[in-house]
Amino acid sequence: MRVGVCADDLIVHVRIGHFPCFIFISMNKPVSAGQSNKHPQTKQMRRKPNEDSHYADPEFSAELIAWQKQHGRHRLPWQNTGDAYRVWLSEIMLQQTQVTAVIPYYLRFLEKFPSVQDLAAAPVEEVMALWAGLGYYTRARNLHQCAKQVVAQYQGIFPSDPSLLNALPGIGRSTAAAVAAFSYGTIAAILDGNVKRVFARVFGIDAYPGIKSVEDDLWLRAEALLPQTEIAAYTQGLMDLGATLCTRSKPDCARCPFQHRCVAFAEGRTAELPVRKPKSKQKEKQTIMLLLEHDGAVLLEQRSMTGIWGGLLSLPELDGMTELEVMSSDKSDSNRIFEQISATDQTRATDIVNRFGDIQSLNRLAPFTHTFTHFKLHIHVIHFIISRRFEFVGEDNLRWTDLEQVEQLALPAPVKILLQTLSSRLI
C-alpha cells in the first residue's frame, strides 16, 4: 500500500487482487469562486474493474487513448482546466451544437460570468440575452437554474458523482459523466449521439439506437469499455472520433484507429449504420369544410382553443362520417352531394346553411391534403353559393367576413390559400 498526500486531499493507493485502486479522502477544504475545485464525493475513483462483462475489451480504450493523445483535439478553450464550472458550461453549450458555433458564446459567457456564483446571481433575462442565437433555449433556462442550485446546495462546487450531477437541471446522464470525467477524473461512461454512431459502426449494431432496449444495451457496452485510468483522454477520444473522423456522412475511415476492427468498414455499411429511425406510418384523417359564399363574403367559424388550429378562424367543418369515396366520384349533382353526407353531417350542414342564407347552388371542390407533423389531413370542401344572406344574431362562433380581409386574419394555412384563390377569382 502506498500513501500520497496532495494539498487538499489524501489519496491512498492500494491493490486489491491484481487491480490498483485509489481511495480518495477529502480534507473538505472550502473552495472559493472561480478556483479550480475538487469535490469530496469520489465513489467513482474506486470503480470496480469490468472484465466480467462480455462487452469488456481493454484494447478498445487503449487504442482510443493512444489515438487521442496523438491526433485528438487539445486546444479547445474549455480543455486543460480542472474547473468543473467551465467544463459544465461547455458541455451544455455543445449539446446539439457544433464546436465552432459554441466557442464565441463560451468565451462571452465566461467573460460576463467568470464563476458559477456570478451566473447564479444574474437575472435570467441577462442569461437568455447572452444565449440568444445559440438555439435550444431550454438549455439556457436550465443552465441558470442549475447554477443557482449548485450555489445553494453545493456551495458553488459541482459534485463529482455523476448521479448527483444527473439530478441537477439540464444535466443528462451522458453530460453528467463528461463533467465528472473532465473535472474530477471520475470514471463514468458517456453516450451521446456521436458515441452511439461510433459504437453502431465499430460493433455493427443492427438496430435503431433510439429504441429503449438498444440504448440500454449501448449503456452496458459503454460502461464495460471504460478504461481504469486516463478517463479524460478516453472520453475526449470518443468525442473527437465522432466529431472529426466517424462523422455522420463520409466518415474518414482511412485515418481511423478502429478501421481494423470496424464492422461497418469491413462490410461496406458505413452509410447504413447507425440504423435510422423507422418511419412510422403517418395517420390520415378526413374532414369536410363548408364554404358559404355570398357577394364577396364567406362564413368563418372561430375554432375552439384545443385541438389543431386552436383559436384560429376557419371554415365550418362537419364532424360525422361521410361516404367520401362516393362523393369524390360525383362532383356535379348538388342533390346527390347532400344526400351522400351522413345524417349527423346533414343536420349540421343544414343548420348552418339555413341560419345564414338561402342556397343558390352547391358544388364540391377538388379535395386537397394538408400535412401535419403526425398526420395528413385530407380536406373536402362543399362550396355553397348563397343567394340571400341572413345576419344571424346570437351567441355563436360563426360570422360573415369579407374576403378582402383574408390577408389580415389568423387562418389555418390551407384555408387561407383556398380563400385567397377564391378572392383572386372574384377580382
Query: Residues with catalytic annotation?
Result: 91
Closest CA to 145 of 126, 163, 129, 168: 168
Q: Does 148 bind ligand SF4 (CB under 6 A)?
A: no
CA atoms lying within 13 Å on the CB side of residue 42: 19
Longest alpha-carbon distance in the chain: 101
Q: Which stretch binds ligand SF4 (CB under 6 A): 20-28, 85-93, 254-262, 343-351?
A: 254-262
Stretch that binds ligand SF4, among 107-115, 187-195, 257-265, 325-333 (CB under 6 A): 257-265
CB of 409 to ligand SF4, least distance (A): 53
Task: Report, in Å, the least distance between residue 233 CB and ligand SF4.
Answer: 18
Decide whether 179 or 198 has the Cβ nearer to ligand SF4: 198
Q: Which distant-in-sequence residues (6+ apart) come within 8 Å of 106 by Cβ?
A: 77, 78, 89, 90, 93
Buried/exposed 294-330: b ≥16 CB within 10 Å, e otherwise: beebbbbbebeeeeebeebbbbbebeeebebeebeee
Residue 55 CA to residue 51 CA, distance in Å, equals 8
Q: Please state the closest distance from residue 276 (CB atom) to ligand SF4, in A.
A: 16
CB of 252 to ligand SF4, least distance (A): 6
Q: What binding mask, one character per residue, do residues 156-195 give for ligand SF4 by CB under 6 A, x or -? A: ----------------------------------------
Is residue 258 within the footprint of ligand SF4 (CB under 6 A)? yes
Could you report how far apart the first and last alpha carbons of the chain are, in Å? 94
Minimum CB distance to ligand SF4 smaller for 241 or for 379: 241
Of the candidate residues 176, 202, 382, 419, the single one contacting ligand SF4 (CB under 6 A): 202
Beta bridge partners of 362: 384
DSSP summary character for residue 81: -
**Which residue stretches of 167-260 are H helix?**
173-184, 193-202, 212-224, 231-240
Strands 317-318 and 283-294: antiparallel
Out of 151, 164, 246, 386, the only residue in the binding site for ligand SF4 (CB under 6 A) is: 246
Q: Please tell me the distance from the alpha carbon of residue 173 to that of residue 188, in angstroms, as a whole number.
A: 10
Residue nearer to ligand SF4 on the CB measure, 181 or 256: 256
Least separation in angstroms between CB 188 and ligand SF4: 22
C-alpha–C-alpha distance, residues 214 and 7, integer Å: 44
- Cα separations (Å) of 13 from 18, 21, 50, 234? 13, 6, 19, 22
Tell me, by CB under 6 A, how many residues bind ligand SF4: 15
Helix (H) or strand (E) holding 386: strand 375-389
Candidates 67-75, 165-173, 243-251, 368-376; binding stretch for ligand SF4 (CB under 6 A): 243-251
Q: Which position among 95, 259, 342, 346 is part of the footprint of ligand SF4 (CB under 6 A)?
A: 259
Could you tell me which residues are beta bridge partners of residue 357? 389
Which lies closer to ligand SF4 via its Cβ, residue 244 or residue 363?
Answer: 244
In whole angstroms, how large is the CA radius of gyration of the chain?
A: 32
Which residue do the cell numbers 458550461 mark? Answer: 89
Nearer to ligand SF4, 251 or 357 (CB): 251
For residue 112, give the C-alpha cell: 460576463
The yes or no reply on residue 234 touching ligand SF4 (CB under 6 A) is no
CA–CA separation, 180 vs 400, rounded Å?
A: 64
- φ/ψ of 185, rounded to 5, equals 75, 20
From CA 298, how far away is CA 146, in angstroms rounded? 53
Q: Does 380 bind ligand SF4 (CB under 6 A)?
A: no
Q: Which of 86, 144, 148, 201 binds ligand SF4 (CB under 6 A)?
A: 201
Is 239 a binder of ligand SF4 (CB under 6 A)?
Answer: no
- Applying CB under 6 A, which part among 16-24, 167-175, 263-271, 391-399 lies near ligand SF4? 263-271
Residue 264 in the binding site for ligand SF4 (CB under 6 A) = yes
Of the pair 198, 292, the CB lying nearest ligand SF4 is at: 198
Nine-digit cell string for 172: 443528462
Residue from 64, 65, 231, 262 in contact with ligand SF4 (CB under 6 A): 262
Among 162, 185, 251, 357, binds ligand SF4 (CB under 6 A): 251
Residue 270 engages ligand SF4 in binding (rule: CB under 6 A):
yes
Instruction: Tell me which residues touch ligand SF4 (CB under 6 A).
Output: 198, 201-202, 245-246, 251-253, 256, 258-259, 262, 264-265, 270
